[in-house]
C-alpha cells in the first residue's frame, strides 16, 4: 500500500542540511518520507524529532486501519495505567530527557529530580535490581521477569502528575508505541490475555536502541535511571553524518518489520 509522503526534519541542528526523499518498507506497506537532516557529523539526540514524527505517521496509519474495522484506541488523557511499567529508552533519549529536565524552570526541575530519586529508591526498597546489567545484558526471559518485578513495585513514572504525562511532547518512543484497544484499566496488570496492543508493523524504539548499541556500545537505559545515567555517560564525539544515522535506524526498522 502506498501512502502520502511524511515530511520530517531536524531543522534545529545548526549547520548545513540536506533534504532527500526515501521510501520505508514496513511489512507490506511502502511509506515515502521527505526528510531534512544535517550533513555534518552529529549524534542521534538532535535527530529524535525525525523518528518521533515518523512514529506518529506509523501510529496514525495503524489507528486508521483499526477504525475502519470498527475498533478504537482506549488510551486517554488522565489514564496513567501504563506509566508504572519499565520503560526502555535509547541512550540518545536518556540524554534528551536529562536535557529537558535541566532546562525546566524551578521549582519544576527540583520536583522532577526529586521524583526520579524517589523512583530509584522505591526500586531499591522493593529489591528490584535496576543496574545496567539487569536491564541490558539479560536474556529475553530475564527481561520479562524484570518487567514483572518492576510492575509489582508499582513505581510511577517520574513525569506522571495526576495520572497525566507531563513530558508528553518529548516522551520516549516506547511510550509513543504503546497503544491498546482493550480496556485501559487492564494496563495496570497487563497480560497477553487482557491487553490488545496496536501492531505498528515494527518497533522504532527498538530499532533506535539496536542502532545505538552498534554505533556507541551503549544499550537500552531504564527511563527511571535516565538522569543518573546521562550524568555519567555524556555523548561521545559525533562520528556519523545525519543522512547515514537516519538511514541506519530505518534500515534496522525495516529488518524488524519483516
Mean pLDDT of 223-247: 94
Q: Is residue 230 part of a domain?
A: yes
Q: Is residue 252 part of a domain?
A: yes
Q: Is residue 1 part of a domain?
A: no
Q: Is residue 149 part of a domain?
A: yes
- Looking at the chain, the whole-number percentage of residues with pLDDT higher than 70 is 93
- pTM here? 0.91
Q: Is residue 10 part of a domain?
A: yes
Range of the structural domain that residue 83 is part of: 6-256
Which pLDDT score, from 0 to 100, does residue 111 have?
94
* Mean per-residue pLDDT of the chain: 87
Between CA 67 and CA 71 the distance in angstroms is 5
Task: Indicate the number of domains in the chain.
Answer: 1
**Is residue 12 predicted with pLDDT exceeding 70?**
no
Mean pLDDT of 19-26: 82
**Are 33 and 22 a contacting pair, CB within 8 Å?**
yes
Amino acid at each position: 500500500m502506498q501512502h502520502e509522503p511524511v515530511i520530517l526534519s531536524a531543522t534545529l541542528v545548526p549547520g548545513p542540511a540536506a533534504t532527500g526523499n526515501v521510501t520505508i518498507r514496513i511489512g507490506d506497506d511502502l511509506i515515502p518520507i521527505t526528510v531534512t537532516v544535517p550533513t555534518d557529523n552529529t549524534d542521534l539526540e538532535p535527530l529524535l524529532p525525525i523518528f518521533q514524527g515518523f512514529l506518529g505517521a506509523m501510529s496514525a496509519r495503524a489507528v486508521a486501519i483499526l477504525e475502519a474495522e470498527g475498533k478504537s484506541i482506549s488510551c486517554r488523557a488522565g489514564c496513567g495505567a501504563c506509566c508504572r511499567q519499565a520503560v526502555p529508552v535509547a541512550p540518545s533519549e536518556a540524554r534528551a530527557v536529562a536535557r529537558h529536565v535541566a532546562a525546566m524552570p524551578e521549582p519544576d526541575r527540583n520536583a522532577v529530580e526529586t521524583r526520579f530519586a524517589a523512583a530509584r529508591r522505591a526500586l531499591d526498597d522493593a529489591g528490584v535490581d535496576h543496574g545496567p546489567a539487569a536491564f541490558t545484558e539479560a536474556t529475553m526471559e530475564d527481561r520479562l521477569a524484570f518487567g514483572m518485578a518492576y510492575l509489582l513495585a508499582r513505581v510511577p513514572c517520574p513525569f506522571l502528575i495526576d495520572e497525566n504525562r507531563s513530558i508528553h511532547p518529548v516522551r520516549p518512543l516506547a511510550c509513543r508505541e504503546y497503544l491498546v484497544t482493550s480496556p485501559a484499566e487492564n494496563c495496570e496488570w497487563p497480560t497477553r490475555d487482557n491487553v490488545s496492543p496496536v501492531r505498528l508493523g515494527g518497533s522504532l524504539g527498538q530499532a533506535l536502541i539496536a542502532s545505538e548499541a552498534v554505533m556507541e556500545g551503549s544499550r537500552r537505559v531504564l527511563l527511571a535511571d535516565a538522569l543518573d545515567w546521562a550524568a555519567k555517560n555524556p555523548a561521545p564525539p559525533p562520528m556519523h553524518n545525519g543522512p547515514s544515522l537516519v538511514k541506519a535506524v530505518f534500515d534496522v526498522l525495516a529488518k524488524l518489520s519483516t
